[in-house]
Amino acid sequence: MAVTPMMVQVGRRESFNAAHRLHDPGLSEDENRRLFGKCVNLHGHNYLLEVTVVGGIDPTSGYVVDLKRLSDIMCRCIIQDVDHRNLNTDVPWLGGVIPTAENLALIFWDRLLAELPAGQLRTVRVWETDKNWAEVGDQA
C-alpha cells in the first residue's frame, strides 16, 4: 500500500499532582493578593500534560513516533521532577518562575524541545483544572 507523505499529529497525555501558590516575591502580600486572589495560598492541582508531535508515518512501523518513547521522555524530563512536589520550592528548573499554567507550558516546551528530533514537537498543553489550560505551540 502506498503511503501518502501526509503529516500526521499524534499525542500523549501524562498526569501529575503538585502544589503551588501564585506569588511574586517582588510584590507585597497585599499586592500579591490583589493580583492572584486566593491562588496566593498554597494549594494543589491534578495536572494533565498533553504533548503532540507531528511527522510522516514510518512505513515500517506505521507510527509517526512510538508513543511509549514520547511517554518516557515526558516522564524523565518533567513528570518525575514535578509529581508530588511544591512547584514554588522543590523543582530547581522552575526556580524564580511564578508557576502559572502558562509558565509551566512554556518551560515544559523548552525541556521537551531539547529531547525530540527537530520539527517534531507541535504543542504542549498543561491542564491545571478541568476548565483551565494553557498551550504553547509551533505554528510553523
Site of interaction with Ni ion (CB under 5 A): 39
Query: Measured from the CB atom, is 39 or 67 closer to Ni ion?
Result: 39
- Contact between 53 and 64 (Cβ < 8 Å): yes
Lateral strand order in the sheet of 121-127 = 85-86, 8-20, 43-55, 121-127, 133-137
CB of 43 to Ni ion, least distance (A): 6
Distance CA 39, CA 87 (A): 13
- Report the catalytic residues: 39, 84, 128
Q: What are the DSSP E strand ranges found in 8-74?
A: 8-20, 43-55
CB of 72 to Ni ion, least distance (A): 28
- Contact between 83 and 42 (Cβ < 8 Å): no
Query: Measured from the CB atom, is 39 or 77 closer to Ni ion?
Result: 39
CB of 39 to Ni ion, least distance (A): 5
Query: Measured from the CB atom, is 14 or 102 closer to Ni ion?
Result: 102
**Given the C-alpha cell 498543561, which residue does it identify?**
126
